[in-house]
Amino acid sequence: MSAVLERFLRYVKIDTESDRDSETYPSSAKQLDFLRLLADELRQIGLSEVNMDQFGYVTATLEATTNAPAPVIGFIAHVDTSPDFCGKDVKPQIVENYDGGDIILNAAEQIVLSPRRFPDLLKYRGETLITTDGTTLLGADDKAGVAEIMSAMEYLRAHPEIPHGKIRVAFTPDEEVGAGVEHFDVPAFGADFAYTVDGGEVGELEVETFNAAGARVYVRGRNVHPGTAKGVMLNALRIAMEYDALLPVFDRPEHTEKTEGFFHLMLLKGEVESAQMEYIIRDHDDQRFQSRKALMQSAADYLNRKHGETVVELTLKDQYYNMKKMIDPHPRIMEIARAAYEALGIEPRIIPVRGGTDGSRLSYMGLPTPNLFAGGHNMHGRYEFVPVCALEKAVQVIVRICELAAAG
Q: How far apart are CA 113 and CA 93, in angstroms?
A: 12
Query: 10 Å Cβ neighbour count for 219?
Result: 26
Average pLDDT over residues 78-105: 97
Average pLDDT over residues 61-80: 96
pLDDT score recorded for residue 219? 98
Instruction: Enter the CATH code of domain 3-209+322-407.
Output: 3.40.630.10
Q: Are 57 and 172 in contact (CB under 8 A)?
A: yes
Q: Are 382 and 111 in contact (CB under 8 A)?
A: yes
pLDDT score recorded for residue 351? 87
Q: What is the pLDDT of residues 113-142, one digit of tens each?
A: 999 999 999 999 999 999 999 999 999 999
What's the predicted TM-score (pTM) here?
A: 0.89
Q: How far apart are CA 154 and CA 2, in angstroms?
A: 12
Q: Are 369 and 324 in contact (CB under 8 A)?
A: no
Query: 10 Å Cβ neighbour count for 285?
Result: 15
Any idea which residues carry the catalytic annotation? 80, 175
pLDDT score recorded for residue 178? 84
Per the omega criterion (within 30 degrees of 0), is the bond before 142 cis? yes
Same fold, 3-209+322-407 and 211-319: no
Q: At residue 112, does pLDDT exceed 90?
A: yes
| pLDDT-based confidence at residue 356 (cuts at 50, 70, 90) | confident
Q: Report percent pLDDT > 70 for the chain.
A: 100
pLDDT score recorded for residue 355? 85
Average pLDDT over residues 84-94: 97
Could you confirm whether domain 211-319 is CATH 3.30.70.360? yes
Average pLDDT over residues 334-347: 98
Q: What is the pLDDT of residues 297-321, one digit of tens each?
A: 999 999 999 999 999 999 999 989 9
Kindly list the domain boundaries of the chain, sorted by start residue: 3-209+322-407, 211-319
| pLDDT-based confidence at residue 382 (cuts at 50, 70, 90) | very high
Q: At residue 268, does pLDDT exceed 90?
A: yes
The C-alpha torsion from 165 through 169 and 175 to 181, rounded to 10°, is -80
Average pLDDT over residues 183-198: 98
Q: Distances from the Cα of 237 to the Cαs of 117, 163, 205, 331, in angstroms?
A: 34, 63, 43, 50
Q: What is the pLDDT of residues 5-54, one digit of tens each?
A: 999 999 999 999 999 889 999 999 999 999 999 999 999 999 999 999 99
Phi, psi of 370 (to 5 degrees): -70, 180
pLDDT score recorded for residue 234? 96
Residue 27, CB-side half-sphere exposure with 13 Å CA sphere: 23
| pLDDT-based confidence at residue 251 (cuts at 50, 70, 90) | very high
Phi, psi of 6 (to 5 degrees): -60, -45
Q: At residue 1, does pLDDT exceed 80?
A: no
